[in-house]
Amino acid sequence: MASVPSIKLRDGNSIPQLGLGVWQVDPNITARVVTDAIEAGYRSIDTAEGYNNEQGVGDAIKRTSVPRSELFITSKLRNGGHARDLALASFDATMKALGLEQLDMFLIHWPVPSQGKYVEAWKTLVELKTQGRIRSIGVSNFNQDHLERIIGETGEAPVVNQIELHPRFQQRDKRAFHKQHDIVIESWSPLGSGRMLDDPTIAQIAKKHGKSAAQTIIHWHLQEGLIVIPKSTHKERIVENFDVFGFELDADDMAKIKGLDQSRGRVGSDPATASFLF
Q: Which long-range contacts (C-beta less than 8 Å, at least 24 apart) are formed by 3-9?
A: 3/245, 4/41, 4/42, 4/43, 4/44, 4/245, 5/222, 7/184, 7/225, 7/227, 9/136, 9/159, 9/160, 9/184
- Report the distance separating Cα 160 and Cα 162, nearest Å: 6
**Amino acid, res. 213:** A
What's the length of the chain? Answer: 278
Give pLDDT, residue 70: 97
User: Which CATH architecture fits 6-197+226-247?
Assistant: Alpha-Beta Barrel (3.20)
In this structure, the dihedral spanned by the alpha carbons of residues 15, 21, 22 and 24, taken in order and rounded to 10 degrees, is 150
- Per-residue pLDDT at 56: 98
DSSP, res 7 = E
Q: Is the pLDDT of residue 2 over 80?
A: no
Q: Report which residue type is found at 100.
A: L
**Model pLDDT for residues 28-77, shown as the tens digit of each residue:** 999 999 999 999 999 999 999 999 999 999 999 999 999 999 999 999 99
Is 165 within 8 Å of 226 (Cβ atoms)? yes
Spatial separation of the C-alpha atoms in residues 185 and 228, rounded to whole Å: 9
Residue 1 is predicted with a pLDDT of: 65
Task: Kindly tell me if the per-residue pLDDT of 202 is higher than 90.
Answer: yes
51 as an active site residue: the answer is yes
Helix (H) or strand (E) holding 134: strand 134-140
Q: Half-sphere exposure of 268 toward its Cβ, with a 13 Å CA cutoff?
A: 23
Per-residue pLDDT tens digits for 120-170: 999 999 999 999 999 999 999 999 999 999 999 999 999 999 999 999 999
Q: Quick check: 3 pLDDT over 90?
A: no
Catalytic residue, candidates 42, 51, 110, 220: 51
Domain ranges of the chain: 6-197+226-247
Task: Give yes or no for a contact between 45 and 37, defined as CB atoms under 8 angstroms apart.
Answer: yes
Instruction: List C-alpha distances in Å: 142 to 32, 139, 148, 157, 159.
Output: 31, 7, 10, 12, 12
What integer pLDDT is reported at residue 65 of this predicted model?
97
Closest listed residue to residue 142, CA positions, set 98, 178, 190, 94: 178
Residue 141: left (phi > 0), alpha (psi -120 to 50), or beta?
left
The pTM score is 0.97
Q: What pLDDT is stored for residue 204 in this prediction?
A: 98
**3-class DSSP state for residue 73?**
strand
Q: How many CA atoms lie within 13 A of 117 on its CB side?
A: 18
Across the chain, what does the average pLDDT equal?
A: 97
Could you give the C-alpha distances from 50 to 6, 102, 160, 182, in angstroms and in order? 27, 20, 19, 27
pLDDT in tens, 75-99: 999 999 999 999 999 999 999 999 9
At residue 221, does pLDDT exceed 80?
A: yes
